[in-house]
Structure 1
Amino acid sequence: MKPIFAIYIKDLRGIVTNWAAAVIIGGLIILPSLYAWFNIKASWDPYSQTSGIRVAVVNQDAGSTLRGQSLKIGDEIISSLRENHNIGWIFTSEDKAMKGLKRGQYYAVIVIPDSFSARIASVLTPTPEKAEILYYVNEKINAVAPKITAKGASSVTSEVNRNFIKTANGAIFSIFNQIGLELKQELPLIRKMKTLALRFQELYPEINQAAGTAVDDLHATQNIVGKVQNELPHAAELADKGKQWADNTSAFLNRGGEVLETSSPIVKDTLIQLTQAADLASRTTGLLLAKLEQDNEDESKELLTPQQSEHLTQGLSVAAGMAESLADMLARLEPSAPGNKLTGAVAELRQAGGEFNQMAGLFPGVRSSAVETGAAPGPKEAAIAALTKLHGLAESAADRLNRLSGNFDNIIQPAIKSAMDTLKQEASHAGKLLQEATGDLPVIDKVLTDAGKGLTAAIKGAEVIRKELPTAEKKLQEVTRRITSLEKEGTLEDLIGLLSLDFAKESEFFAEPVILKENRVFPIPNYGSAMSPFFTTLSVWVGGLLLVSMLTVEVHDRLDGIRSYHEYLGRFLTFLTLALLQTVFTTVGDLLILGTYAADPIRFVLYGLLLAAVFMLIIYTLVSVFGNVGKAMAIVLLVLQLAGSGGTFPIQVTPPFFQAIYPFLPFTYGISLMREAVGGSVQDIVTRDIYVLLLYAGLSLALGLGLKKSVNKAAAKWVEKAKSGHLIH
C-alpha cells in the first residue's frame, strides 16, 4: 500500500507546487459542471416558452346559415386564438403565410377554408360533410417545433369540435327536455295505453274469432237481406191478409164478447157443479171412512161395488177435465186481464183439476177393507189411510171451488170482460199497423237494396281486416315484447327523469364527458430538474474523459520497487480525487446555483460521488490498460450510452439495438440512481442500481489488475511506433 500512496502524494504535491498545473487541474474540475449547467438551464422549462413559436393563421371562411341564423365559425376560431397565448399566432393572408413558412419566418400555417362553416352546417342535411382545417408545417427548421405546432393545431380542432358538440347537444337536449315534460304530463295516458296494448294482445284470439264470426255473419246477413227482399211481394200479400185477419179477429172478438156475456152463467154453473162434485166426493169418503172405523171385524169386507167405484171414478175424471178446460180458457185471457186478476183463478182451477185426477186414480183401489196394496200393517189400516187421503183431497178441492164461485161475480167475470175489451183494441191496432206496413213496403224495399250494397262493401272491408289481423297481431306482439324488455331495463319514469334533466348542464357534460385528473407520483416541478439526472451523469463521464485526455495515466518518475498494480492504483487515486471534486462542484452547483429540485439533496450529491468513482474507474482502467485505444473505447461507450440509456427518450421508443444493450450500460443504472434522489427513492431500485455499479467497478478493477502489465508489455512496440510519427502522444 505504501508505494500506492507514495505515487498519490507525489501527484498531489506536483499539482499544489506547480501553479500552471493547478490552473489546468482547476479548469478540468470546473468544465464538466459547465457542461451540465448549460444543458440543464437550456432545457429548464421549454414548454412554457412556446409563445415565441410563430404560427400563421389564415381565415378564408365565407360563412353559412343554419335554420335562418348566420354562422361564421372561422371568425369564432380567430377570436379564440387571439386570447390563446400559448403559441405566437400571426393572422395574415394565405400568400404571406406560405411565403413566410418557406422562408422559416413561421414554423407552421393553419388555413380555415371558405367552405368551413358550410360543411359544419351540413350536419342537418341528408349528406353531411366533415369540415377541414388545412395545416402546413416546415419540418426542416427544428426537430421539436413541428410537434409543438401540431399540438397547437390539434387544440384548435379540439376546441371547434368541443364547441360544436356543446351547441348541438344543447339543442338536442333542449328538445329532449321538452319531450320529457310532455311525457310526464301524458304519463297516465301512456300507462293506460300500455295496459290496453297488453290487454289487447290477450284478447287477440277472441278478436280473430270475432272477426271470422263477423265476416260469416255479414255473409249470412247479406243472404237474409236478399231473401227478405225476395219475399217482400209475399209480405205485401201477407199484410193484406193480415189486415183481413185482424178485421175478422176484431169481429170475432165482438161476437165472442157477446157469447161470453151470454155464457157467463154457464161458467158460473160449471164452477158450482165442480164444487158439488168435490162436496160429493168429500161426503162419500167421509161416510166410507166412518163405516170402516166402526167395523171391528178383521176379515175383509167390500166397501164399494165395482159399479159404484167406476161411476165415482168417471165422475171425478169428468170434473178434472172441466176444471182444466176452464183453466185453459182463463189462461188465454189472463195476459190481457188488468192487474193479473185471472192469475189466481187459473192456478186454483189447475190445482183443483189435479186433485180431481188424484181422487180418480185412488177410488178404483178402494173396494173393500183389504185395499189391494199388500201393505205390511194390515188390510184395514191400509184402507183407512187411503180413504183419509181421498177425503183430504176432496175437502181441499171443495174449498178452492167454493172460493172461486164466491169471487166469480166480483172478480172473475169483470176481469174476463176487461180482457175481451183489451183484445178487441189490440186486434184493431194490429189492423191499423198492417195497413201502415203495406204502405211502407216500397220504402222497406229501397232500404233493403241500400243495405245489400252496404253489406257488400262491409264484407270486402271485413275480409281485408281479417286478412290483416295476423300481421297486426305480430306487430302488437313485437310492441308488447319491446315494452316488457324496456321495463326490465328501466321504467318510463326513469326515462322521463333523464329527459327532464337540465339540458344546459347535460350539453356541457357531453361536450367533455371525461376530464383527466392528474395525480403526480414523485412530482418534479420543472423539466430542467427532471433532466438533471441525465445531464449530471453525462457530465461525470465527460469529466472523466477530460481527465484522461489532459492527464497521463503513466508514472514517468518510477520509484524503486514500483510494480504495475502499484502504478495502476496509485495514479487512479489521483484521478479519483479530481473526479470527485468535479462531481461535488457539479451536483452542488445544480442544487445551489441552478436551483434544481431534488427530493433528497444529500443523496443527490452522494450518488453523484458514487457515479464519479465508478465511471472514473471504468474510463481510467480502459486508458491505463489499452492506452489511446482505451480513450476511443470510452468515447464509443459515451456515444452508445447517450442513445441507449433512456436518458432523454423512453428506451421503449428507441430502435431494437439500443433496447437490447440498455440493460448492460453503466449509464442506465447511474441515471436511474440519480433519479431516485431527484424524484424520491424506492429502496429496491436504489439497491439494484448500487449493486450493478459496484459490479462494474469490480470488473474494471479485475481488468486493470489482471491485464495491465501483460497488455502494456505486448503493446509497447506498437505504441512507440505510433509515437514516432509525432502525432500521437
Structure 2
Amino acid sequence: MNTLRLARNEFRRITAGRLPKLAVLALILVPLLYGALYLYANADPYDRLDRVPAALVVADRGADGADGEHTNAGQRIADQLIESGAFEWHRVSESEAQIGVREGQYTFALTVPRDFTAALYSSADFQPRTGTLQLTTNDANNYLAGTIADKLGSEIRKSVASEVGTQAADQFLAGFGTIHQQVSKASQGAVELTKGAGKLSQGTTDLLGGSERLAGGLQTLQDKTADLPGQSERLAEGARQVAAGNERVAQAGNELAGTTQQLVNRLDGMPDRIAERLRAAGVAEADVQQVLTELGQLHTPIAEANGKVQDTAGQLRTLANGAEQVSSGADQLAGSAPELTNGISTASSGADELLAGARKLDTGAGDLHDGSTELRNGLRDGLKEIPNPDEQTREDTANTIGDPVGVQTTGQASAGSYGAGLAPFFLSLAAWIGAFVLFLLLRPLSSRALAAGQPAWRVALAGWFPAALLGLCQVVVMFAVVVWLVGITPAHPIQALGVLALASLAFTAILHALNAALGAVGKFLGLLILILQLVSAGGTFPWQTIPDALQPLHQVLPMGYVVHGLRHTLYAGASMDIGGDIAVLIAYLIGALALTTAAAYRQRVWTPSKLKPELVL
C-alpha cells in the first residue's frame, strides 16, 4: 500500500458521513474566522475615530496680543478640532466632562483653561509661563483611546507652539525691519554729521589761522606801542610848545595886520590933505597932480601888502587855533595812551587764549570729523548686517523659526492601513491555529499501516498529507477572503500566498510530529509553542522590545520568519529578501517529517501504554 493510498484512506475516514464532512469544512474555516474576521474588524480603526465620544471644555477667556488685537487661542483650537472630525467632540462644562469621563459617557476630555491664551502671550511681558492643556483619560474606558488622546494632545501642543513661535518670530523680524529703518536714518544722519564735521573742521582750521595771525599782530602791536605813553607825552609837550609859539606868532601877525591896516587907512585920506597943503603952499596944480599921481602909485603896493598881511595874520590865527587843537588832542592822546597800551596788552592776552582755544577746537573738530566718519562707516557696515526681509521672506522665516524641525517620512515599504500592518502576524497565527485544530480530527499515524509493517517514512508521509492538504485549503480560503473581501491588497500576491502555503506545510508538519511522537502531550506542547510564538514573533511591536530572556525564542521558533516573509511580500516597496525565511521553514518541514518518521518507526512496536494511554484528548 503506497503513501497516497494511505492518505486517501484517512480522508475517507474523516469524511464518512454528513457531520464529518461538516467538521472538515469547519476545520478549513477556523483560520478564516480567526485571521480574516479579526483583520476585517480592525482593518482601519483610525478611520472611525469620529464615532468615539470625547468631551471638549473651552474656558479660555482670550487675551490681547502685542498688536492690541484680542485673540482666543482656545476657541481656535476647539474650532479646528471639531472641524477635523478626529473624534465625536461634545462641548460641555468642566464638571460635565469629569463626570462623563468617570462614568464612561466620554472616552476622554480635553480642557483649555481660562488663562491659556494669556499664558501663550506672557513671554512678551517677560513673565513667561506655559499654556497648559488638560487631558483627562480613563483607561477603564479604553486604554488605546487614552493613548491616542495623549498623541492628540501632543500634536495640539506642537501645533500651538509652532503658531505662537511663528507669531513671536514674525514680530521679532518686524522689529528687525524697524531697527533697519532707524539705523538707515541714523546712517543718513551720520553722513550729514560727517559733512558738517568736515565743514566745522575746515572752519576751525581757518579760525586757528586767523587766531594765530591776530595773536601775532596784537603781539607786534603791543611791542610797537610799549613806548606809546612816553612818546605821546613828549608829543603833547611839543604840541603845547608849538601851540604857544603859534599863538605868539598869531598875536604878532594880528598886531602887524592892525598896524598895516592903520597905515592903509591913513594913506586913504592923505592925498587930499597933501593936496590942500600943497595948494596952500602955493605949489602949482600940475605939481600937485603929479604928487597925487605918485602917491596913488605908492598906495597900491601898500594896499596889496596890507591884504597879504591881513591874510597872513588870518592864517597865523588859524594855525594857532589848529596848533591849540593839536595840543589838546596830543594831551588827550597822552592821557589815553596808557589805557590804550593796557587794552592792547589785554587784547593780546585774550588773543593768546583765543589761539589756545582755537587749537583745542580745531583738534576737537578733527576728532569729531574722524569719529563721525567712523560712525558713518560703522552704521553703513552694521546696516548690511541687520536683516530687512520683505513680507514674504519674513513670513517664511517666521514659519521656519516657529517650527524649525520638519519630519519627512520616506516609506520604503508601506502597509497602507492598520489591518494590513497586523496582517502578517494574524495570518501566521491563524495558519498555526488551523494546523493545530486539524489534529483534533485527524490521526497522526495510521495504526493499520503500522500493524501491516509499512515503512516508517511512508506511514509518516501518509499521516501528514491529509493535514497538509487541508492546511493549504485553509490558507487559500483565508488569503482569498482577506484580499477580496477585507480589502488588504498584497504587493506580491503569488509570493505572499507561497510564503503562507509553505508556513502551513511547515506548521502542519510540526504539529503532526508532536502529535505522532508525544500524543496528548504533543497537543499540549503545540498550544504552548503557540503561546511562546505569540510573545516572540514581533507581530505587533518590534521583536527587539521583548524581554532579553524571550529574544532567543524569536530566533528559534518559525512564526517570526513567517511574519517577516509575509511583510516583505504583502507591502509595496519591500526588499523581497525572504530567502532566509523560506530556508528556515523548509528546514522545519524536513525536520518535522524526519521526527514523524522516527516516531512512526518507534510506534511499530506495540506497548501497554500505547494500547491503553494514560491521557486521551
Amino acid at match of 1:548: F
The Cα shift of 1:618 comes to 0.8
* Corresponding position of 1:104: 104
User: 2:84 aligned with 1:95, yes or no?
Assistant: no
CA distance in 1, matches of 2:605, 2:227: 156
CA contact (8 A) 2:110 2:136 kept: yes
**CA distance in structure 1 between the partners assigned to 2:238 and 2:602 by the alignment:** 162
Structure 1 residues 537 and 195, CA gap change in structure 2 (3 angstroms)? farther
- Structure 2 residue aligned with 1:441: 342
Equivalent in the alignment of 1:672: 564
Q: 2:520 aligns with which of 625, 628, 642?
A: 628
Q: Do 1:243 and 1:435's aligned partners in 2 also have CA atoms closer than 8 Å?
A: no
Deviation at 1:633, TM superposition (A): 1.3
**Match of residue 471 from structure 2:** 579
Deviation larger for 534-543 or 72-81: 72-81
Query: 605, 611, 627: which is aligned to 2:497?
Result: 605
CA 623–246 in structure 1, closer or farther in 2 if over 3 Å, else same: farther
> Is 2:6–2:462's contact at 8 Å kept on the other side of the alignment?
yes
> Which one of 440, 454, 460 corresponds to residue 568 of structure 1?
460
Q: 1:708 to 1:84 in 2, by over 3 A?
A: same
Q: Which residue of 1 aligns with 2:153?
A: 153
Find the aligned partners of 2:146 and 2:335 in 1 and give their Cα distance. 110
Partner amino acid for 1:97? A
Q: Which amino acid aligns with 1:84?
A: S
How many Å separate the matches in 2 of 1:493 and 1:62?
43
2:323 maps to none
1:61 aligns with 2:60: yes
Q: Is the 8 A contact 2:412 2:574 kept in 1?
A: no
Aligned counterpart, 1:325:
none
The 5 A counterparts of 1:10-89 are 10-67=9-66, 68-89=68-89
Say if 1:180 and 1:500, in contact at 8 Å, map to a contact too: no
The match for 2:314 is none
Separation in 2, partners of 1:95, 1:505: 42
Corresponding residue for residue 523 of structure 1? 414
- Tell me the residue number matched to 1:301: none
Equivalent position of 1:123 in the other structure: 123
Alpha-carbon offset, residue 168 of structure 1 = 2.2
The correspondence for 1:507, drawn from 392, 395, 398, is 398
Q: Spell out, residue by residue over 1:517-566, the C-alpha distance to the aligned partner (whole angstroms, 9 max, x if none).
A: 44332333322223222211111100011111233324244452235443
Report the equivalent of 2:171: 171
After TM superposition, the structure 1 = structure 2 runs for residues 581-596 of structure 1, keeping only pairs within 5 Å, are 581-596=473-488
Equivalent residue letter for 1:665? L
Q: Is the 8 A contact 1:56 1:91 kept in 2?
A: yes
Instruction: Give per-residue Cα distances to partners, 1:142-169, cap 9 Å, x unaligned.
Output: 2211111112222222232222223222
Q: CA deviation at 1:705?
A: 2.3
- Contact 2:14 2:441 (C-alpha < 8 Å) held by counterparts: no
Mapped partners of 1:17, 1:195: distance in 2: 117
Residues 643-722 of structure 1 correspond to what in structure 2 (within 5 A)? Answer: 643-680=535-572, 685-710=577-602, 717=609, 720=612, 722=614
Aligned CA distance change for structure 1 residues 714 and 450 (closer, same or farther; 3 Å): farther
Deviations 1:11-45 (A, max 9, x none): 12334543322111111111211211111111111
Query: Residues 5 and 103 of structure 1: is their aligned pair in 2 closer, same or farther, counting only changes over 3 Å?
Result: same
Q: Residue type of the partner of 2:470?
A: L
Note the alpha carbon deviations across 1:638-696, whole angstroms, 9 max, x for none.
11111211111112332223333222120111111122221147667221111111111
Task: Give the direction of change, closer, same or farther, for the CA distance of 1:175–1:692 in structure 2 (3 Å limit).
Answer: same
How far residue 597 of structure 1 moved from its aligned partner, in angstroms, is 0.7
Q: Which residue of 1 aligns with 2:428?
A: 537
Assess if the C-alpha contact under 8 Å between 2:228 and 2:337 holds in 1: no
In 1, the alpha carbon distance for the partners of 2:593 and 2:75 equals 71
Secondary structure of residue in 2 paired with 1:152: helix
Cα 1:687–1:192 change in 2 (3 A) is farther
Deviation by residue 1:384-427 (Cα, 9 ceiling, x = unmatched): xxxxxxxxxxxxxxxxxxxxxxxxxxxxxxxxxxxxxxxxxxxx
**Residues 437 and 62 of structure 1: CA distance in aligned 2, closer, same or farther (over 3 Å):** farther
- Aligned partner of 2:61: which letter? A
Distance (Å, rounded) in 1 between the aligned partners of 2:579 and 2:11: 34
Instruction: Give the Å deviation of 1:635.
Output: 1.1
Kindly tell me: are residues 236 and 187 of structure 1, through their superposed partners in 2, closer, same or farther at Cα, counting changes over 3 Å? closer
- Cα distance in 2 for partners of 1:433, 1:149 equals 114
Conserved? CA contact 2:461–2:593, under 8 Å: no
Deviates more, 1:531-540 or 1:610-619: 531-540
Aligned CA distance change for structure 1 residues 681 and 136 (closer, same or farther; 3 Å): closer
8 A Cα contact 2:60 2:113, kept in partner: yes
* Amino acid in structure 2 at the alignment position of 1:441: N
User: For 1:144 and 1:72, how far apart are their aligned partners in 2?
Assistant: 31
CA contact (8 A) 1:530 1:678 kept: no
* Alignment partner, residue 257 of structure 2: none
Paired with 2:353 and 2:189, the residues of 1 have a C-alpha distance of 40
1:639 match: secondary structure:
helix
Aligned pair in 2 of structure 1 residues 244, 704: CA closer, same or farther (>3 Å)?
A: farther
- Are the equivalent residues in 1 in contact too, given 2:55–2:92 (CA < 8 A)? yes
The range that moved more, 673-682 or 6-15, is: 673-682
Residue deviations 1:50-86 (CA, integer Å, cap 9, x gap): 1122221222223333455434332332233332211
Asked whether the 8 Å contact 2:561–2:581 carries over to 1, the reply is yes
Q: CA separation in 1, counterparts of 2:351 and 2:229?
A: 26
Q: Hey, what's the Cα distance between the residues in 1 that align with 2:594 and 2:560?
A: 22
1:144 paired with 2:147, answer no
Q: Deviations over 1:580-629 (max 9, x none)?
A: 11111111222223222111222222222111111110111111111111
User: Is contact 1:524-1:597 (8 Å) kept?
Assistant: no
Partner SS state of residue 562, structure 1? coil
Which runs of 5 or more structure 1 residues have no equivalent in the other structure? 197-223, 252-427
Counterpart residue type for residue 688 of structure 1: G
- CA deviations on 1:202-233 (whole Å, 9 max, x unpaired) are xxxxxxxxxxxxxxxxxxxxxx9xxx9xxx9x
Equivalent AA in structure 1 for residue 494 of structure 2: I
The 2-side partners of 1:433 and 1:659 are apart by 129
Find the aligned partners of 2:513 and 2:193 in 1 and give their Cα distance. 94
Find the residue that maps to 1:111 and give its secondary structure. strand
* Structure 1 residue matching 2:439: 3-state secondary structure: helix
Residue 714 of structure 1, CA deviation: 9.9
Q: Match of 1:720, as an amino acid?
A: K
**In 1, are the aligned partners of 2:569 and 2:576 still within 8 Å (CA)?**
no
1:683 to 1:706, Cα distance in 2 relative to 1, 3 A: farther
| Cα pair distance change 1:28/1:176, threshold 3 Å | same
